[in-house]
């Protein structure tokens, strides 16, 4: 089980319970309410790895698209 508090503290952004953290591949996204649900996406928004279902992936990608400007360097 991941350390949810540490992940939340290190996240670039938290949107509706999803913590967005930069990684070499792009972003790691963790559902803080269900830490078994995670997603790794490229900077372009392509799914690289996931434990989420298709509906949750679409929701998270919408959050990413609407908020990626806040995570840019």
8 falls in which pLDDT band (50, 70, 90)? very high
Range of the domain at 30: 4-70
2 falls in which pLDDT band (50, 70, 90)? confident
* Tally of domains in the chain: 1
User: How confident is the model over 18-57, as pLDDT tens digits?
Assistant: 999 999 999 999 999 999 999 999 988 899 999 999 999 9
**Terminal Cα distance for the chain, rounded:** 30
If phi > 0 it is left, if psi is from -120 to 50 it is alpha, else beta; for residue 26 that is left
Give the Cα separation of 50 and 66 in Å (integer): 20
pTM above 0.75, yes or no: yes
Name which of 38, 3, 40, 9 is nearest 22 in CA terms. Answer: 40
SS3 label, residue 24: coil
């Amino acid at each position: 089980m991941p350390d949810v508090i540490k992940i939340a503290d290190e996240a670039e952004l938290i949107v509706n319970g999803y913590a967005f953290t930069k990684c070499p591949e792009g972003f790691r996204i963790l559902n803080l309410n269900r830490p078994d649900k995670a997603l790794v996406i490229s900077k372009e928004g392509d799914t690289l790895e996931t434990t989420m279902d298709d509906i949750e992936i679409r929701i998270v990608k919408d959050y990413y698209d609407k908020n990626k400007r806040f995570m840019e360097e």
